[in-house]
Structures are given as structure tokens and as C-alpha cells.
Amino acid sequence: MTEPDALGKFSILAILTATAFLAGARLPPHGPLPQPRPDAGEMTAPAPLPDKTELPAPDDVPAPQPKPNVPKPGVKEEPEAPAPDQPSARPTEPAKPETVKPSPAEPMQGPPLPPGKGPQTPEEDNMPPAEQTLEEQHLTIEPESDPEHAECTAALKALGVVFKDAPRIDDGNGCGIDKPIIVSEALPGIRLKPEATVRCPAALALARWVKESVIPAASAALPEQGRLMTVNQATSYMCRLRNGAGTGKISEHARGNAIDIASFHFEKGEDVTVRSRREDATLTGAFQRTVSAAGCLYFTTVLDPESDAAHETHFHLDVIERKGGYRYCH
């Protein structure tokens, strides 16, 4: 018999013997007790639990204690934030007093108003000139510089304008001229009819316009009518609001800055009256449109009969100063 066969038979015999032994054996009624560990004397046995566990009352529950801050080696310690139920170390700012707004029903404090006067609203304080009369606007006369006036009158004399100085005009409410002049001839031999009371800058603009634009245009368009003899004006200085309205901005006529031209009189033929000539294809129409357009080279405002109903019969020419040198020409 070989050695492997002997081992196989011995294994089968061992299995059969163990099976027979287990079949006849019984388990003991009590299992073996665990033996204590060698260091059991150093450990405390857990206390037995009571039959019924009672939860402590809410007042007896201990508050959680903050975890102690144990610094680690090599780590810089930072201050620990205070617990929620502990006051912060930072001083508290004093409470700001509450601002009490006055009730809308209570009147504002201040000096008593004059009898019969109620509190003014912002609309009354800032009412635009378009809604104010001349008296309500509290305007004043603009002063004129002596050197500038002397320079202007010297230019008039150089052009041959016939004029004379007049006393200061003050008609109240801002109407007036600080240094007025009265012009009788716009240029030598060309009458201004009737005489015009204006400021010197308006007279100078008129003289230059007549010399450099009106006379050349008339020579080109109306040579058969001969020399220009008279410039007929409708209005020079007059104390009023614009277009004679009851409220609104003051007219430049009330400050001596404006003059209205109604017609031109020549040696021959009929006067050339200023009227609507937009569709006038004649040379007379071309003359009027030419001098109207050229007026904006000398005046800062030119209104012709095509502008509105208030100027259907004349040119309005003025020298009002606007911001940025702006001019209005229509």
C-alpha cells in the first residue's frame, strides 16, 4: 500500500469517528464562564443599570461647557470666540437717539407770517416768468460800462451815424436804458424815421446791416428805384413784455436792445414794405429774403413775417446776449 492511499483511508476513518462521537454527545446545561483579563483588577466594573431610567428635570440639565482650547505644538494660539450666553469683550456703542419727525398736521416752527399771508408753496416761489407780470418779476436796469459805451459811440461816428446822447431812462420794473442814444440817421443821408431811442450796440448793428447788406441787396435787386433814402421803423424803446403780453419775459424793446423795421423808402417807386414774401418770386421778394437772412450776421435775434403772427408786418431785430453766442433767426 502506498503512502497516499494510507493517508486517504486514515482521513476517512477520523471523520467517521468524529461523527459518531458528536451524535452521542450532548451540550452541557451551562456554558463556561469567561475568564477575567490579566489587568481586570485595574479596571472598574460598570455600575448596573436601574430597572427604570428617569430623565433629569429641565432645570437639572447641566449647561454645555466650552471645549478647552488646548494649543497644539507649533501652532499659534488664537483667542476663542465667546460663548453665545457670554457677553462680548468688545464695548458696545451707545444707542443712537431716535429721530422724531414732526407730524404733517403740525405746523413748522418759525417766525409768524404777516397778517393775511399764508405759507408760500414752492410753485409760488419759483413761478416761471411766463406766468408773472412785469411787476412781479422785480427786474432792474442793467448798467453799462463807460469805456464800452465810449468805444461803441466812436464806431457810430466813424460810420457817419447821426445820433445824440439822452438822459438815463428808468420807467420802473426793469424798463429803461442806462446810457441811451437817439438815432436820427442810420447812415449819412439815410434817415431813420421816426427817430429811434436805443442802446448804442443796437444802433451799431443797424448801421452795419444797412451799409453791408441792405444797400448792396437793393442795388442788385432794385437798381431802377435809385438810392435808399429812409428806413422806417415801427418800434424802438418801449416798456412792455414780449409781444405786448400781460405775463411773460420782458421784451428787448424795454431794454433798448431791439428795433422793428417796417419798410424801406427809395428815391423812386413805391416803398418796399415788409410782409410775407416766402412765395414771392419777384426781385422785391428776393431783396426782402436776402436782407432778412443777412440780419443774423449783425443781430442775435431776427424774426421776420414768416416767424409768427406778431411779426407779419415787420422785422424784429435785437442784440440780446445769449450763452455761447447763440443766435435765433427765422
Neighbours of 259 (CB within 10 A): 30
CA separation for the pair 154, 248 (Å, rounded): 36
From residue 272, give the alpha-carbon distance in Å to each of 63, 190, 241, 281, 287: 111, 15, 29, 15, 9
pLDDT (average), residues 239-245: 91
What per-residue confidence (pLDDT) applies to 295? 97
Q: Are 243 and 303 in contact (CB under 8 A)?
A: no
Nearest CA to 256 out of 309, 313, 183 is that of 183
**pLDDT exceeds cutoff 70 at 321:** yes
**pLDDT average, residue stretch 148-171:** 98
What residues contact residue 330 under an 8 Å CB cut-off, 6+ apart? 302, 303, 304, 306, 307
Q: What is the pLDDT of residues 134-157, one digit of tens each?
A: 999 999 999 999 999 999 999 999
98 or 11, which is more confident?
A: 11
* Model confidence pLDDT, tens digit, residues 192-227: 999 999 999 999 999 999 999 999 999 999 999 999
Whether the predicted model's global pTM rises above the 0.75 cut: no
Instruction: List the grid coordinates of 218.
Output: 437793393
Average model confidence (pLDDT) across the chain: 77
CA atoms of 300 and 252, how far apart (whole Å): 11
Name the DSSP letter for residue 161: -
Distance CA 182, CA 195 (A): 6
pLDDT value at 123 more than 50: no
